[in-house]
Amino acid sequence: MTNLVWPAGLPQRPTVGGYQERFSETVLRTAMDAGAAKTRRRFTSAPRQFELTFRVTASQADLLQTFFETTTAGGSLPFTWVNPRDGSAGEFRFMEVPRVSAVTATMFSAAVKLEQLI
């Protein structure tokens, strides 16, 4: 299979305030009848979740739509991209359908939810 890559024609970094990362949840908690809950590690790694917002033009919104619908087969195929916080390359996948909303007559806000496969 061909290694897919986040398109160069799309913004490579989210807007200021348009970045949220959720670290991997790998702990299982079990409530006890009395006292503190018991915890144990379920696995050593899990996907990280990202909610990102990009400022895009109409043509970039079209590119995002094509990348999601065609290139990644509706978000089912992973792609290579750079983690915006630490700059490390990784494999990502869409968690939801991207959302595009108008900011001005010619600018749009594109919101995507991604998971980094670890």
* pLDDT digits 0-9 by tens, 24-52: 676 678 888 888 888 777 666 668 899 99
**What is the CA angle 61-64-69, rounded to 5?**
125
Distance (Å, whole) CA 94 – CA 20: 15
Q: Is the pLDDT of residue 17 over 60?
A: yes
Name the 3-class secondary structure at 2: coil
- Collect contacts of 22-29 with beta carbons under 8 A, ≥24 apart: 22/48, 22/49, 22/50, 23/48, 24/48, 24/118
Average pLDDT over residues 107-112: 97
Residue 1 is which amino acid? M
**Among residues of the chain, what percentage have pLDDT more than 90?**
64
pTM: 0.80
